[in-house]
């Protein structure tokens, strides 16, 4: 019997993982924010997964943050800006040798969490799967993708990867998880802010090729400086390929801004600019892009941290 998957953050990705693990018969418990959320969830009767218009419901047990059951394995599925605070609120429940799987996009939140719970093992994830919610407690599986998992402090793969295989969650263990996270961060920095500022789909950036190329050159320099030469390889080609392949889509940051939601800017472009500053490396175009994006968010009443 595998140990329980505690899942904190019953949003899009957290619900997607919870439903697939529950469908495979794995023990899962959701951790919800408040007694009110727990009551709402109980009234809904569980989580519903929508895949190609097929709906399946799962009566997954749930509890609040201050439940007393010890946590051996935690999937942290909140946004990067909520991660540290969320972990602080359950830190006292972590069992000795507890493992955390950190699903956050970008970089920076993983180190905040690791510093918060220094005795736990923190496994970093980089996901290209796509999920969204139209209603509470219901998740739409929107885009097939992949999950890279790794632990920069320990290359040994955990045995529970078998649970993911049995649940049909596509994944691979990698000793180079930081390279994966940096590469995705660079892609997100080259594409997402411009889609917000030019109010366009990803494909709209074909009209701003020079600007994209200049950002990619600075990002590639930064990746080299941060000891991530592999993440820098052919960055501009990859960015252009993603722009073509996702031409009809709106970037995740564009969708956040359009829906009046806080963005993860601090852990994407913010992290890139802070890293450059730490290395004493001027990146004028990225810094200007960051300032323009911060101004844009503030003018729309959105936080920029």
Kindly list the catalytic residues: 184
Contact of residue 191 among ligand KPL, ligand NAD, none (CB under 5-8 Å per partner type): ligand KPL
Please report whether residue 246 would count as binding ligand KPL according to CB under 6 A: yes
> What number of CA atoms fall less than 13 Å from residue 298's CA on the CB side?
8
Binding-site member from 127, 147, 188, 228 for ligand KPL (CB under 6 A) = 188
Q: What's the farthest any 2 CA atoms get from each other in the chain?
A: 55
Instruction: Give φ, ψ of 205 to 5 degrees.
Output: -75, -5
Please report whether residue 12 would count as binding ligand KPL according to CB under 6 A: no
Instruction: Give φ, ψ of 144 to 5 degrees.
Output: -70, 145
Two structure tokens written together for 186: 């660079």
CB 270 within 8 A of CB 276: no
Please report whether residue 126 would count as binding ligand KPL according to CB under 6 A: no
- The residues of the shown chain that bind ligand NAD, judged by CB under 6 A, are 8-14, 31-33, 65, 77-80, 82, 85-86, 89, 103-105, 127, 129-131, 133, 264
Contact of residue 187 among ligand KPL, ligand NAD, none (CB under 5-8 Å per partner type): ligand KPL
CB of 127 to ligand KPL, least distance (A): 10
The residue with tokens 């793969």 is 157
CB 278 within 8 A of CB 270: no
Give, in order, the Cα–Cα distances in Å from 134 to each of 138, 167, 186.
Answer: 7, 24, 29
Please report whether residue 192 would count as binding ligand KPL according to CB under 6 A: yes
Two structure tokens written together for 183: 């590469």
Q: Which is nearer to ligand KPL, 140 or 192 (CB)?
A: 192
Please report whether residue 252 would count as binding ligand KPL according to CB under 6 A: yes
Dist. CA 147–CA 191, nearest whole Å: 21
Binding-site member from 191, 215, 226, 272 for ligand KPL (CB under 6 A) = 191
Q: Which is nearer to ligand KPL, 187 or 273 (CB)?
A: 187
DSSP state of 204: G
Residues that bind ligand KPL (CB under 6 A): 187-188, 191-192, 202, 242, 246, 251-252
């Amino acid at each position: 019997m595998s140990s329980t998957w505690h899942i904190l953050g019953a949003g899009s990705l957290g619900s997607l993982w919870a439903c697939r693990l529950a469908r495979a018969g794995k023990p899962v418990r959701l951790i919800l924010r408040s007694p009110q959320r727990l009551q709402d969830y109980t009234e809904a009767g569980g989580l519903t997964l929508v895949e190609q218009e097929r709906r399946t419901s799962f009566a997954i047990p749930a509890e609040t943050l201050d439940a007393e059951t010890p946590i051996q394995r935690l999937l942290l599925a909140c946004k990067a800006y909520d991660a540290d605070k969320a972990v602080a609120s359950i830190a006292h429940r972590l069992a000795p040798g507890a493992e955390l799987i950190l699903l956050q996009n970008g970089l920076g939140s993983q180190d905040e969490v690791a510093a918060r719970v220094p005795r736990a093992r923190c496994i970093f994830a980089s996901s290209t799967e796509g999920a969204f919610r139209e209603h509470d407690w219901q998740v739409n599986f929107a885009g097939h993708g992949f999950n890279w998992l790794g632990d920069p402090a320990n290359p040994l793969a955990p045995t529970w990867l078998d649970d993911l295989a049995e649940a049909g969650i596509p994944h691979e263990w990698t000793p180079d998880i930081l390279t994966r996270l940096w590469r995705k961060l660079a892609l997100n920095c080259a594409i997402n802010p411009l889609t917000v500022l030019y109010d366009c789909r990803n494909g709209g950036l074909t009209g701003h090729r020079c600007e994209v190329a200049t950002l990619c050159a600075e990002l590639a320099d930064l990746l080299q400086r941060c000891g991530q030469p592999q993440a820098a390889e052919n960055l501009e080609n990859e960015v252009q390929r993603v722009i073509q392949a996702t031409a009809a889509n709106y970037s995740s940051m564009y969708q956040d801004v359009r829906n009046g939601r806080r963005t993860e800017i601090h852990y994407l472009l913010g992290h890139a600019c802070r890293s450059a500053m730490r290395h004493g490396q001027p990146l004028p175009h990225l810094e200007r892009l960051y300032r323009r994006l911060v101004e844009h968010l503030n003018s729309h009443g959105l936080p920029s941290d």
